[in-house]
Each structure stands twice: as C-alpha cells, then as structure tokens.
Amino acid sequence: MKSKIRHYEAADITVEYDQERCIHAAECVKSLPSVFNPDKRPWIQPENAERAQIQEVVRHCPTGALKFQDTDHDEQPEPQNAVIISPDGPVYLRGDIEVQNASGETLLKDTRLALCRCGESQNKPLCDNSHQDISFDAPAAFDIEKLKPVDGEEHKGALVIKLMKNGPALVEGSYQVYSIAGQPARSSKNIALCRCGGSTSKPFCDGTHKDIDFKG
C-alpha cells in the first residue's frame, strides 16, 4: 500500500492527509470549506474552524485519507463496526479495523478505509478510483441469504480483513452490512468479499478470481 502523507497544524489540532487514499468524495470540502478548500494553498487550513467542527468532518471521510490528532486524544473507532456497499465503487469499512495478509501478518490498523472491489486499483487492497476508469458496474444491493447472522446487537471488537492471496477479502468479526442504495442494514459475521471485480454475486466472492487469474 502506498502513502503520501502531509500534516496541517493549528494550535489545538493537526489534520493528517494521505493523498494516496483520497478518492475525492469531497465530503470535507462540502461540509467545511473554510478549512478544506482545494482552490487555496495550503488546501487544508485547520486554524479557520473550531476543533470540534474539524473532528466531526474528518470522521466523515469515507476512505481514512483524513485523520486528526488533537491536544486531548487521537481519533477512536466508531462504537459499531460497519461494512458499507457503494454502487459501482468500493466497500467502505468503519470500526476497529485490522487488515492482514493471508499469513495473519498485520498490514494496517485503521478506523476507516475504502476496499477496492473492481480489481484494478494500483494501491490494493485500497481503492484508488480505478473503478471510474473502467466503468465498473456493481450494484450496492446484497443478497441477505449470503450473510451469516450474529446473535444480539453487538458489533464491537476487531474487524479483521484478511486478504487471501490473489483471492477475496475475508471479513472476520461481527458488524452490520449497509447499502448506500438504502437496503436495510443486516448483522453478519465472517463473509468473503470479492476483490477481483468478476464475481456474479457481488459484493460476495464466488470463486471467479481463479478463472480470471486475479493478482491481488
């Protein structure tokens, strides 16, 4: 995974920006243009807003490209883990996230990230907007029959994303699965998400990665 990180400091908060993870969702620009303005230099000016405002906007960055550090604490994971399916784009993950390789070695710990599901990202497993270049077509809906329900309403603890070699992402832990298309959230655990872009049962893996010689 590539990274290109810059820091923008004010008296009581520092905003961290990873250019390699930004897919220009523009949530920050729309929500707080006094701080996040691509027409200005530097484009992030945290001295122009209250700390609490900046914290709230940063938490809505879907890819984790933006983070904050302040005088009291760093950003903490959201209280419930979530897997969010977007139309024709990545899977967004929120919670206490740990990305591992197939051997169980930790590659990344984070609270928010965008997982590539078109198979073409040059920054795998993270999305880099390649789905737009190839006109990737994938619904945000999901087949609830393929989910593995969990008892109760707890979706806490580690959300482990294990990247199988040239295969799917195994999602271990408990979480809720959401669709940006508005499908009701469903509780689940231990699913396999397609990373090759070829599955006929997106967002879930159906073994197509073997047929198309996917390199993950």
Q: pLDDT, tens digit, for every residue of 72-83? A: 777 889 888 999
**Paired tokens of 47:** 């001295």
Domains in the chain: boundaries: 5-70, 82-211
pLDDT at residue 72 in the model: 75
Contact status, residue 68 vs residue 16, Cβ threshold 8 Å: yes
Residue 7 pairs in a beta bridge with 16
> Phi/psi of residue 174, each to 5°?
-120, 145
pLDDT at residue 88 in the model: 97
Q: How far apart are CA 145 and CA 19, in angstroms?
A: 38
pLDDT at residue 62 in the model: 96
pLDDT at residue 204 in the model: 96
Selection from 142, 199, 130, 194 nearest residue 167 by Cα: 194
pLDDT at residue 180 in the model: 87
Close Cβ partners of 98 (under 8 Å, ≥ 6 residues apart): 106, 108, 109, 158, 159, 160, 161
**Paired tokens of 158:** 């580690």
Q: How far apart are CA 191 and CA 171, in angstroms?
A: 5
pLDDT at residue 195 in the model: 98
pLDDT at residue 111 in the model: 96
Contact status, residue 93 vs residue 115, Cβ threshold 8 Å: yes
| Regions of the chain short of the pLDDT cut 50 | none
Give the Cα-Cα-Cα angle 79, 106, 127 (nearest 5 degrees). Answer: 75
CATH, domain 5-70, list 3.30.420.40, 3.40.50.920, 3.30.70.20, 3.40.50.1580? 3.30.70.20
> Phi/psi of residue 178, each to 5°?
-120, 155
pLDDT at residue 208 in the model: 98
Give the global pTM: 0.93
Number of H helices, E strands in the chain: 4, 9
pLDDT at residue 51 in the model: 95
Residue 102 pairs in a beta bridge with none
Q: How far apart are CA 188 and CA 150, in angstroms?
A: 5
